[in-house]
């Protein structure tokens, strides 16, 4: 393992805008080293999280989040404390009291919830690092995994073009902020009424001015796609939006990443998806399961970027 980065020691990760370019590179470097070692032996010789206890507060369903955080902590000598939904943020007990109590006992908190303000309040009060494993506004660890997959595939990120097809959602928000920080061009093609948060786009645009990146938002997937290095699909109906299913399916017709759209991007373009996927809706099976898909690399990288950030933030 490399030397612990002083800049990330004790740090939260609440938003993809929390990290500088150098800090992204630090996480990527640590994740790459951890990934190489794990692929070789399925083990890690060093145990930098030994004695560390981290709570997992998962108020939304998960496969990748729960397994990768629990397994990652175990692989590096740490211990996960899954708290599930029973903790009752703001219902059974205030966020303030929960934060102050957890900080007395453990070393960090991973939280996957709905309202982003719960995460920011928890971080403000906890006095131990808080890690955002998904809110309605952002999904920063997913963006880290995605951009590491692109970096591995293309060799570099600066100047690369990623086009998100569909909803201006939490994953897009984090990709826009992270991509802008790393000098990328992040595009979004979305139906009317399903755009991103204007404040987050404005923040990404401000970052891009300083880095040479670019944010482009439009409507027509076929207009936004040419010249893209990657086309990114996500589900049309996220958790908590089930009552909107009929309206969303109607609005998103024509926003499917299929082989024709991928070919329009260019012969070297790749397809991306954060999973879970609905084949035949936001992406076709031949693209998701085909040779130009990075979906499994993205999923694999969730384990390693999360381990890397935990090592940098709370490792010894």
Domains, the chain:
16-138+299-314 (3.40.50.1370), 143-297 (3.40.50.1370)
Question: CA-CA distance, 247 to 191, in Å (whole number)?
Answer: 11
Candidates 44, 66, 234, 306; catalytic one: 234
* pLDDT value of position 86: 63
Taking the CB of residue 276, how many other CB atoms lie within 10 A of it?
Answer: 11
Candidates 11, 64, 112, 203; catalytic one: 112
Which candidate, 270, 269, 264, 266, places its Cα nearest to that of 288? Answer: 270
Candidates 136, 160, 274, 298; catalytic one: 274
Candidates 146, 302, 304, 306; catalytic one: 302
* pLDDT value of position 91: 74
Catalytic status, residue 234: yes
Catalytic status, residue 112: yes
Catalytic status, residue 256: no
Lookup result for tokens 């999280």: 49
Catalytic status, residue 139: yes
Catalytic status, residue 281: no
* pLDDT value of position 6: 59
Catalytic status, residue 302: yes
* pLDDT value of position 2: 47
DSSP the chain: --PPPTTTTT--B--GGGS-HHHHHHHHHHHHHHHHHHHHHSS-S--TTTT-EEEEEE-S--SHHHHHHHHHHHHTT-EEEE-TTTT-BTTTB-HHHHHHHHHHH-SEEEEE-S-HHHHHHHHHHHSS-EEES--SS--HHHHHHHHHHHHHHHS--TT-EEEEES---HHHHHHHHHHHHTT-EEEEE--TT----HHHHHHHHHHHHHHT-EEEEES-HHHH-TT-SEEEE--SS-TT-GGGHHHHHHHHTT--B-HHHHHHH-TT-EEEE-S---BTTTB-HHHHTSTTB-HHHHHHHHHHHHHHHHHHHH--
Return per-residue pLDDT of the chain as tens, 316 residues.
Answer: 545 555 899 999 999 999 999 999 999 999 999 999 999 999 999 999 999 999 999 988 899 999 999 999 999 999 999 986 667 676 778 999 999 999 999 999 999 999 999 999 999 999 999 999 999 999 999 999 999 999 999 999 999 999 999 999 999 999 999 999 999 999 999 999 999 999 999 999 999 999 999 999 999 999 999 999 999 999 998 766 677 788 999 999 999 999 999 999 999 999 999 999 999 999 999 999 999 999 999 999 999 999 999 999 999 8
The CA angle 246-295-217, to the nearest 5 degrees, is 60
């Amino acid at each position: 393992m490399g030397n612990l980065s002083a800049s990330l020691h004790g740090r939260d990760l609440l938003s993809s805008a929390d990290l500088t370019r150098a800090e992204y590179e630090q996480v990527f470097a640590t994740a790459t080293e951890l990934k190489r070692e794990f692929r070789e032996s399925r083990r890690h010789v060093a145990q930098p999280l030994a004695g560390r206890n981290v709570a997992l507060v998962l108020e939304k369903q998960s496969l990748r989040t729960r397994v990768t955080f629990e397994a990652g902590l175990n692989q590096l000598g740490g211990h996960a404390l899954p708290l599930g939904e029973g903790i009752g943020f703001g219902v059974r007990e205030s966020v303030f009291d929960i934060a102050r109590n957890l900080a007395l006992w453990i070393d960090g908190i991973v939280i996957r919830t709905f309202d982003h303000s719960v995460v920011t309040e928890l971080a403000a009060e906890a006095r131990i690092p808080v890690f955002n494993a998904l809110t309605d506004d952002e999904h920063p660890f997913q963006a880290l995994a995605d951009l590491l997959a692109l970096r591995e595939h293309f060799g570099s990120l600066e100047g690369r073009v990623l086009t998100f097809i569909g909803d201006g959602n939490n994953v897009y928000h984090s990709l826009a902020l992270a991509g802008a920080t790393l000098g990328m061009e992040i595009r979004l093609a979305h139906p009317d009424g399903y755009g991103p948060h204007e404040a987050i786009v404005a923040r990404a645009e401000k970052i891009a001015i300083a880095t040479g990146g670019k944010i482009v938002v439009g409507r027509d997937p076929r207009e936004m796609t040419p010249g893209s290095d990657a086309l990114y699909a996500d589900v049309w109906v996220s958790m908590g939006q089930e009552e909107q299913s009929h309206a969303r399916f109607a609005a998103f017709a024509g926003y499917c990443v299929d082989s024709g759209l991928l070919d329009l991007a260019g012969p070297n373009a790749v397809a991306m998806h954060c999973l879970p996927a609905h084949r035949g809706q936001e992406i076709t099976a031949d693209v998701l399961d085909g040779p130009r898909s990075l979906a499994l690399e993205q999923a694999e990288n969730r384990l390693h970027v999360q381990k890397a950030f935990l090592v940098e933030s709370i490792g010894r």
